[in-house]
């Protein structure tokens, strides 16, 4: 893929760009990068201007410091949007990319046309998840490869894992390219993120939440609960946390369906 870069606080933010039309900003999850969108980008670049960004410390984008808050990442996304002179954009965020989308929506509300959160939540980490992130940070300092292999395995349910071994292997290979500093900085940033559920209730633009019904990371019922009594559109797909791998066509169809209505 051909990457372009934007300078942001003395580091390069890398992104890819395909197609013409209204802008879709694709934001990957933890230990992923812009390549995660490859399977579905082709579907959208015929009608949209698709920009996939490597978030701080991931892919070809550099690290800023020991912690990358979701606000830091949102500012980096804004740097790309400003460089490309985009006025309003649709944010499509997977997992951590969803957290970044929500932070962006809070910081730059006038720049958001619509938002799609995939296997993500507006709620902050609970005490247990914070403790798990702290344990992960200690493990990474000792052996980052062991952590990455475990973390990627845990994103897939036991039922699906045997059928997508080559995809899991590729996901691990990409994840292992993430620098230790980038991994720790993202964990530190996710750990302190604030509750942004209010956006799901009061945002003046359309929002969709796409969830896998067997997500091993974010329990379906608990995650879907946050959009009760809101205008947020819910798509429930058969699959787990990595819908772009487990159900790419269904994910693409859900996004297309939502975009046609707005």
- % of the chain exceeding 90 in pLDDT: 95
Q: Which of 40-44, 205-209, 220-224 has the lowest mean pLDDT?
A: 40-44
Tokens coding 253:
């169809």
Spell out the domain ranges in the chain: 4-261
1 pLDDT more than 80: no
By the 8 A CB rule, do 187 and 141 touch? no
163 pLDDT more than 90: yes
Residue with tokens 């991994």: 183
Residue with tokens 């900003």: 25
C-alpha 200/C-alpha 231 separation (Å) is 8
Helices and strands in the chain, H and E counts = 11, 8
Domain 4-261 sits in CATH at 3.40.50.1820
C-alpha 188/C-alpha 206 separation (Å) is 30
Three-class DSSP category at 105: helix
C-alpha 92/C-alpha 208 separation (Å) is 9
Residue 207 region, left (φ>0) first, then alpha (ψ -120 to 50), else beta?
beta
Q: Going along 68-191, which residue ranges are E strands?
A: 89-94, 112-118
What is the pLDDT of the chain when averaged over all its residues? 96
Under 8 Å CB-to-CB from 111, ≥6 apart: which residues?
A: 78, 81, 86, 87, 88, 89, 104
Q: What is the pLDDT of residue 114?
A: 98
By the 8 A CB rule, do 71 and 85 touch? no
By the 8 A CB rule, do 181 and 66 touch? yes
Binning pLDDT at 50, 70 and 90, where does residue 251 land? very high
Helices 70-83 & 180-191 angle (0-180, nearest 10): 110
Under 8 Å CB-to-CB from 219, ≥6 apart: which residues?
A: none
By the 8 A CB rule, do 244 and 37 touch? yes
- pLDDT tens string 176-189: 999 999 999 999 99
Binning pLDDT at 50, 70 and 90, where does residue 158 land? confident
Q: What is the pLDDT of residue 41?
A: 83
By the 8 A CB rule, do 212 and 238 touch? yes
Q: Which of 38-47, 104-113, 196-205, 217-226 has the lowest mean pLDDT?
A: 38-47
Residue with tokens 């946390």: 241
Tokens coding 230:
């809101």
By the 8 A CB rule, do 153 and 110 touch? no
39 pLDDT more than 90: no
* End-to-end C-alpha distance for the chain, whole angstroms: 30
Residue with tokens 């487990």: 246
By the 8 A CB rule, do 211 and 236 touch? yes
């Amino acid at each position: 893929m051909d990457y372009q870069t934007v300078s942001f606080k003395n580091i390069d933010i890398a992104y890819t760009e395909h197609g013409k039309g209204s802008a879709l900003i694709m934001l990957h999850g933890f230990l992923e990068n812009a390549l995660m969108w490859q399977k579905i980008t082709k579907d959208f670049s015929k009608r949209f201007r698709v920009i996939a960004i490597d978030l701080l410390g991931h892919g070809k984008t550099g690290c800023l410091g020991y912690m990358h808050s979701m606000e830091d990442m949102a500012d980096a996304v804004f740097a790309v949007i400003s460089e490309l002179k985009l006025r309003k954009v649709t944010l499509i965020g997977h997992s951590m990319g969803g957290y970044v989308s929500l932070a962006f929506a809070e910081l730059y509300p006038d720049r958001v046309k619509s938002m799609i959160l995939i296997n993500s939540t507006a709620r902050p980490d609970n005490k247990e998840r914070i403790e798990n992130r702290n344990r992960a940070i200690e493990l990474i300092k000792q052996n980052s490869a062991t952590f990455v292999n475990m973390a990627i395995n845990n994103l897939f349910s036991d039922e699906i894992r045997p059928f997508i071994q080559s995809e899991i292997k590729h996901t691990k290979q990409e994840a292992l390219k993430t620098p230790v500093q980038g991994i720790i900085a993202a964990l530190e940033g996710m750990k302190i993120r604030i509750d942004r559920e209010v956006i799901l209730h009061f945002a003046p633009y359309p929002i969709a939440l796409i969830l896998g019904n067997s997500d091993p990371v974010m329990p379906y019922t608990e995650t879907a609960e946050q959009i009760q009594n809101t205008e947020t559109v819910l798509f429930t797909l058969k699959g787990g946390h990595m819908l772009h791998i487990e159900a790419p066509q269904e994910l693409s169809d859900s996004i297309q369906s939502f975009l046609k209505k707005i």
